[in-house]
Amino acid sequence: MTTSNAPAEGALITAADFAGGGPHGDDPDIRGKFGIFGGRYVPEALIPALDEVARTYEEAKRDPEFLREFDHLLRTYAGRPTTLTDVPRFSEQAGGARIVLKREDLTHTGAHKINNVIGQALLTKRLGKTRVIAETGAGQHGVATATAAALLGLECVIYMGAVDCERQALNVARMKLLGATVVPVHNGSKTLKDAINEAFRDWVTNVDHTHYLFGTVAGPHPFPEIVRDFARIIGVEARRQMLELTGRLPDAVCAAVGGGSNAIGIFHAFIGDEGVRLHGYEAAGHGLESGEHALTLTAGSVGVLHGARTYVLQDDEGQTIESHSISAGLDYPGVGPEHAWLKDSGRATYHGVTDDEAMQAFSLLARTEGIIPAIESSHALAGALKLGRELGPEATILVNLSGRGDKDMGTAMKYFNL
């Protein structure tokens, strides 16, 4: 490595972290496929734009200047590295297993979404585009996108399902304050999946000056790869920090899975560590039998949604079934193709956590540790409680606390009658 290519002193992330071809052979192939999953099922009109994004990203991730800028913003703007926190009082409810939280809730804007957004906003500049659009469910990706757009002087339009606008009114106000235009989407189920449809319609119309700043590891190639790589910092840091804190790797890593970006972000650095179990927790809503859930990986089937082959909640004729979760961020009937691949390969396992289980974990973490988690992250916490009892007191479990719960106070007030 030449001096000019050397990472900045103590860089959070280096070119090696973007080099791909990891121990699990975990980059998609030339068509954007993870095994049979992924690919591009989009109108031909978008193919040149996707090619342009892919090409520009390939160059950017090899460009030390781009990586330095990304690193600089992660450090001085997003507030990285985020710390690990031991939660002994919470862990008592997990059969004594040691639970350690990766505190993405402490980042600027309060969720892991900021990592991907900073990376893609820099990419937007590099693409020479002046406008970003994004979809949002809980509003966290919308807020993060509006934030990065404000920082870098980009025009910003956020598509958000009308139902989500209502249940996440605070985030709508935040986005507006940050200078973004929020467009409520009244089509279909009026939630995240319909916001994605509408964002694609905007993109195909305005693609010459607009970048679609996709918020999760789903969608057509190269989005699953790009979003993963920008979220990968979570696991890269956490792996290093776990070794420092405990002297060894965790027995298991737990994360909530909606589209799957926070989960891929923390899983990815551990994929080559055979002894580390990877557990994803999907929203079981009112339970599998109720039919009101977002159990895409655990109860869905293979299909195509939003441009990628993956697991989908669909009926026998391929119509998307509306998902349900108390957490808007997990309320999505699809999932990133790499998770589909990790599931089928057996490297990661996926489970359901009901609304009630998640809300109990939400409240427990608040009362025992003084941390109010996002309801999304509470699914991973609930999963870790169950897993701890299963693995026993010798086990160490790393949980991605992907976001903070301030945005969820309205839901919590209703749920707990506060």
Partner 1 sequence: MTTLASVFERARSEGRAALIGYLPAGFPTKEGGIAAATAMVEAGCDVIEIGLPYSDPLMDGPTIQDAVHRSLSNGTRIADVLRTVEGVAATGAATLVMTYWNPIDRYGADRFARALADAGGAGTITPDLTPEEAAPWREASAGAGIDTVFLVAPSSTDERIQAVAECCTGFVYAASLMGVTGARETVSSAAESLVKRTRAHTELPVCVGLGVGTGAQAAEVAGYADGVIVGSAFIRRLLDAPDEATGLAAVRELAAELAKGVRA
Q: Is 301 a catalytic residue?
A: no
# binding residues, partner 1 (CB under 8 A): 36
Q: Give min distance, CB of 88 to partner 1, in A.
A: 46
| DSSP H stretches of helix in 61-179 | 64-76, 88-91, 113-127, 140-152, 162-167, 169-177
Q: Give min distance, CB of 41 to partner 1, in A.
A: 5
Touching partner 1, residues 159-188 (CB under 8 A):
187-188
Question: Rounded distance, CA 197 to CA 10, Å?
Answer: 41
87: nearest Cα among 199, 210, 211, 254: 254
Q: Give min distance, CB of 32 to partner 1, in A.
A: 9
Whether the CB-CB separation of 261 and 252 falls below 8 Å is answered with no
Which residue in the set 205, 243, 290, 291 belongs to the binding site for partner 1 (CB under 8 A)?
205
Instruction: Please say which residue, 210 or 400, places its beta carbon nearer to partner 1.
Output: 210
Whether the CB-CB separation of 371 and 365 falls below 8 Å is answered with yes
Instruction: Please say which residue, 31 or 418, places its beta carbon nearer to partner 1.
Output: 31
Which tokens hold the place of 312?
């989908």
Which tokens hold the place of 299?
């109860």
Q: Give min distance, CB of 335 to partner 1, in A.
A: 15
Kind of pairing, strands 155-161 and 181-185?
A: parallel
Instruction: Please say which residue, 65 or 316, places its beta carbon nearer to partner 1.
Output: 316
Q: Is 113 a catalytic residue?
A: yes
Give the number of other CB atoms < 10 A from CB of residue 162. Answer: 16
Binding mask 38-57 for partner 1 (x = CB under 8 A): -xxxxxxxxxxx--------
| DSSP H stretches of helix in 249-373 | 261-267, 296-299, 337-345, 355-369
Instruction: Compute the chain's Rg from CA coordinates.
Output: 20
DSSP 219: S
Is residue 204 part of the contact set for partner 1 (CB under 8 A)?
Answer: yes
Instruction: Please say which residue, 141 or 309, places its beta carbon nearer to partner 1.
Output: 309
DSSP 274: T
- CA 234, 98, 362, 282 dihedral sign is positive
Whether the CB-CB separation of 142 and 171 falls below 8 Å is answered with yes
The one catalytic residue in 61, 91, 102, 135 is 135
The one catalytic residue in 102, 113, 129, 190 is 113
Binding mask 316-335 for partner 1 (x = CB under 8 A): xxxxx---------------
Q: Give min distance, CB of 197 to partner 1, in A.
A: 4
Q: Give min distance, CB of 312 to partner 1, in A.
A: 8
Interacting residues with partner 1 (CB under 8 A):
31, 39-49, 187-188, 193-194, 196-197, 200-201, 204-205, 207-208, 303-307, 312, 314, 316-320
| Residues involved in catalysis | 113, 135, 402
